[in-house]
Amino acid sequence: MAPGIVNRVVPSSAFALGVARVVVHGTFLVSVLVTSFSALGQLPVTILRPTGAMKFLPWTFYDQLLTPAGMTILKLAMVVSLVASTAGLLTSVSTKTSFLMVLFYQGFVRSFGHFNHDEMLGVYCLAVLAFTPCGDEFSLDQKLRKIRKDRPAFAYAYPILLMQLLMAWVYFSSFLIKLRIAGLSYLSPDNLPALAIYHSLDNLHDTAFTWAFWLPQVKGYLPAAVALVLLWEFLFPLAVFFPRLRWWILGGGVVFHLSTLFLMNIFFPHQLALYLLFVNWDHLARKFKFR
Partner 1 sequence: MTRLHLKYALLTAAIFLPLLWAFVYVRNVYPVATWNVMMAGGLLERGRSYWILRGETVSGETVDIRPINLTNAMYSRTWAMVNATVDNQSFKLQNIHPTNAELLRQAGGLEHLPPAARLPDLLRAWGNLYNERLPTSSTERLKAIRLDMYRWEGGRYADYDKFVESWRQEL
Site for partner 1 in 263-282 (CB under 8 A): 266-267
Q: Is residue 281 a contact partner of residue 16, using CB atoms and an 8 Å limit?
A: yes
- Residue 114 lies near partner 1 (rule: CB under 8 A): yes
Considering the complex, state which of residue 118 and residue 140 has its C-beta at the smaller distance from partner 1: 118
> Residue 202, Cβ neighbours under 10 Å: how many?
9
- Residue 118 lies near partner 1 (rule: CB under 8 A): yes
Q: How far is the CB of 151 from partner 1 (least distance, A)?
A: 8
With 0-12 / 13-18 / 19 or more C-beta atoms within 10 angstroms meaning exposed / middle / buried, residue 167 is: buried
With vertex at residue 170, the alpha carbon angle to CA 216 and CA 127, rounded to the nearest 5 degrees, is: 140
Q: How far is the CB of 288 from partner 1 (least distance, A)?
A: 30
- Residue 224 lies near partner 1 (rule: CB under 8 A): no
R_g (Cα) of the chain, nearest Å: 21
Considering the complex, state which of residue 146 and residue 180 has its C-beta at the smaller distance from partner 1: 180
The backbone region for 265, taken as left when phi is positive above 0, alpha when psi lies in -120 to 50, beta otherwise, is: left
Q: Which of residues 182-221 bind partner 1 (CB under 8 A)?
A: 182, 185-186, 188, 190-198, 201-206, 208, 213, 216
Q: How far is the CB of 275 from partner 1 (least distance, A)?
A: 16
Q: Where are the alpha helices (DSSP H) in 111-152?
A: 120-130, 140-145
Q: Which of residues 18-47 bind partner 1 (CB under 8 A)?
A: 34-37, 39-40, 42-47
Q: Is residue 276 a contact partner of residue 269, using CB atoms and an 8 Å limit?
A: no
Out of 171, 236, 275, 281, name the contact with partner 1 by CB under 8 A.
171
Q: How many residues bind partner 1 (CB under 8 A)?
A: 83
